[in-house]
Structure 1
Amino acid sequence: MLDLVYAPFAEFEFMQRALVGVIAIALGGGPVGVFLMLRRMSLTGDAMAHAILPGAAVGYLLAGLSLPAMTIGGLFAGIVVAVAAGLVSRFTSLKEDASLAAFYLLSLALGVTIVSLRGSNVDLLHVLFGTVLALDDDTLLLLASISTLTVLALAVLYRPLVLECVDPVFLRSVSRAGTPTHLIFLGLVVMNLVGGFHALGTLLAVGMMMLPAAASRFWTSDITMMMLVSIVIGIASGVSGLLLSFHAELPAGPAIILSAGAVYVVSLVLGREGGLLWLAWPGRHLEA
């Protein structure tokens, strides 16, 4: 049994690289996903994941499968869509969720069209679903840099981020840090989505952010512990997904997200903080 788990990572370098990649994604994406969930911005993360596609596609159109070109293009497109959606919701009667949905649909269609102009169906699949089993040194360095910067930024901004989740009005009344914190946080979201895009593709990148975060909420109500649990779930999902892909000959990216989804379903049923079984049998906690 241990050999089935250990052997693929010991014998194949591409599995080792994929493992390092998913660990880096989990370290940065899990905590960011927790704050997205607490701020009720989960669907914003999904919309932003698709918003980076046109920029990455333009980078691909100009330079092929170039890591710097696609990364810079994805970052630029994500920031533009985030700012544009905010401006539309602020200066028109359209709410932010509706404006994000509009930009998300336009971005997805535009990105697929741009990739199709130059690339093959294989290139399009790589852009949409990622190439986690083909990560090179430069991509791993990018993922590690993004996760490191994310952890450091969250450590510095932890208190205003928590306050904004709990009571944004109070934060605005005692500090001017609310708006800068929100903008920096959106930047972290875009960065982690761009990193996840290189490994899991634009359609699946948000999965390693939101599924571990949502699962962690069923195990603890403490925000710090929630972040740590989301990282553990993300790493476990990455490892199990890679093993499932290797032994069952499945696509690696979808296998990783399916593993994270399975953990979410188990947490939904068994989690001690609002899980279905705990709600059905609440126990003796109300007795003296």
Structure 2
Amino acid sequence: MFDLLISPFVEFDFMRRALFGSFCIALGAGPVGVFLMLRRMSLTGDAMSHAILPGAAIGYLIAGFSLPAMSIGGVIAGMIVAVLSGLVSRSTHLKEDASLAAFYLISLALGVVIISLRGSGVDLLHVLFGSILALDDPSLLLLTAVASGTIIIIALIYRPLVLDSVDPVFLRSVSRSGPIVHLIFLSLVVLNLVGGFQALGTLLVVGIMMLSATAARFWSNDITKMIIIAIIIGALAGYGGLLLSFHAELISPDARQLPAGPAIVLIAGFIYILSVIGGTNGSLIQKLRPRKHLSA
């Protein structure tokens, strides 16, 4: 059992780095995903993950696989798309979700074109799907900073953020902080996506963000508990996905090249399905369970 569950992280430095990086992603992305879900913006995370691609691609075009260049480019691109989609939705009759969808499709195509101008198919796959098993010290420092900053900022704006998520009308009646909180929250979304794309890529980092949050919804109604559960689910997905990738050849000799990033998201998806079926809050089993009749 030790050889199966613990030995890979004891013997191999790259596995320890990948595990630490996945824990950092879970710590930052889990709370953000919970609030995206509460604000009915679950698909916004997916849209924003595509929106950062052209900025990261421009950073790659200028400096190669330079973490600072790609991260700065990703943050700038993500914020530009967020601001432009908001301006279009407020200046026209188009809703914000449709505006965001249009911009993220443009961003995705633009990013792929930019990478193709200089790089190869391998470079494109690296940006889209990440390389969590190749995390270096700067990448781990970035993930740690993003996770720590996310937790601190959410703690500072927790009350108005909760109100803006569950009852924005009431928040507008008692405070003018709603737009500022919304902008800060979108910034946290972009930062977590930029921090995580180095490990899981722009297309997979949102998987940990949303799958852990939606799975947590089936275990509690309390927002604080949902955040904690989402972090735990994300961490378990990282641990389980890395083990699945490492031991893939034990399952099938043809699966020796099972990528760690997709394996992590698959484990998160498996936990989500288990939560849908057997969670303690609104799962299928609870819905099918006969309810007790009132007695006189």
Superposed displacement of residue 286, structure 1: 5.7
With structure 1 as the length reference, what TM-score do the two structures score? Answer: 0.98
Superposed displacement of residue 101, structure 1: 0.9
Counterpart in 2 of 1:65? 65
1:261-285 CA distance string (max 9 Å, x none): 0000000000111100110005438
Query: How many pairs are equivalent?
Result: 288
CA distance in 2, matches of 1:157, 1:287: 46
Counterpart in 2 of 1:193? 193
CA distance in 2, matches of 1:276, 1:263: 14
Counterpart in 1 of 2:15? 15
The SS at the match of 2:203 is: coil
Counterpart in 2 of 1:149? 149
| 2:275 is the alignment partner of 1:267 | yes
Counterpart in 2 of 1:244? 244
Counterpart in 2 of 1:24? 24
Counterpart in 1 of 2:253? none
The SS at the match of 1:219 is: coil
Counterpart in 1 of 2:217? 217
CA distance in 2, matches of 1:49, 1:286: 49
Unaligned stretches of 5+ in structure 1? Answer: none
CA distance in 1, matches of 2:223, 2:20: 26
CA distance in 2, matches of 1:166, 1:286: 32
The SS at the match of 2:220 is: coil
**Deviation >2 Å, runs of 4+:** 282-288
1:164 maps to a residue whose letter is D
CA distance in 2, matches of 1:50, 1:196: 13
1:160-196 CA distance string (max 9 Å, x none): 0111112101101111111111100000000000011
Counterpart in 1 of 2:120? 120
Answer with 159-168 or 251-260: which moved more.
159-168
Change (3 A) 1:16 1:286: farther
1:89-124 CA distance string (max 9 Å, x none): 110111111111111111111101111111111111
Change (3 A) 1:285 1:144: farther
CA distance in 1, matches of 2:97, 2:113: 24
Counterpart in 2 of 1:138? 138
Query: Kindly, what percent of the aligned residue pairs are identical?
Result: 68
Answer with 86-95 or 68-77: which moved more.
86-95
Counterpart in 2 of 1:85? 85
With structure 2 as the length reference, what TM-score do the two structures score? Answer: 0.95
RMSD: 1.1
Unaligned stretches of 5+ in structure 2? Answer: 249-255
Counterpart in 2 of 1:164? 164
Superposed displacement of residue 287, structure 1: 5.9
CA distance in 1, matches of 2:149, 2:219: 27
1:209-265 CA distance string (max 9 Å, x none): 000000000000000000000000000000000000111031010000000000000
Counterpart in 1 of 2:37? 37
Change (3 A) 1:169 1:116: same
CA distance in 1, matches of 2:29, 2:295: 40
1:117-137 CA distance string (max 9 Å, x none): 111111111000001000000
